[in-house]
Amino acid sequence: MEIGCGARVRDFDGRRYWYFWHYERANGRSLRKEDYIGRIDSHQAREELLRKMAAYHQHAERDLAKRRAQIERRIGLALRTST
C-alpha cells in the first residue's frame, strides 16, 4: 500500500498548471494518478489543490485507523487463543 499526494507544476506553451497527484488502489495495485487543477496563477486553483490534499489525508487517516483496529483485534484474538 502506498500513501501519498502532492502538487506538480507542468508547463505547456509557456503557461504553468497545477496538477494534484495521489495514489489510488486498482485491482490490488497502487497507481499514481494526476488530476488537472488549473493555472498556477489562479487563486481558486491553489485553494482547490489544498482542499484536495486535505481530503486525501483525511481519507488516508480513516483507512489507516480502520486497518490498525483490524490488526489490533486479531492480536487480541491471538493472545486469547494462545494461552
pLDDT digits (tens, 9 = 90+) for 30-79: 899 999 999 999 999 999 999 999 999 999 999 999 999 999 999 887 77
Side chain identity, residue 43? H
Question: What residue segments make up the domains of the chain, in order of their start?
Answer: 5-82
CB 33 within 8 A of CB 23: yes
Please measure the distance between the N-terminal and C-terminal CA atoms of the chain and give it in whole angstroms.
Answer: 33
Instruction: Summarize the confidence of residues 78-82 as an average pLDDT.
Output: 74
Residue whose C-alpha is closest to residue 19's, from 4, 36, 40: 36
**Does the pLDDT value for residue 82 go beyond 80?**
no
User: How many residues in the chain?
Assistant: 83
State the DSSP H helix or E strand holding residue 7, giving kind and residue range, or none if neither: strand 5-12
Cell digits of residue 62: 480513516
| Confidence at 1, pLDDT banded by 50, 70, 90 | low
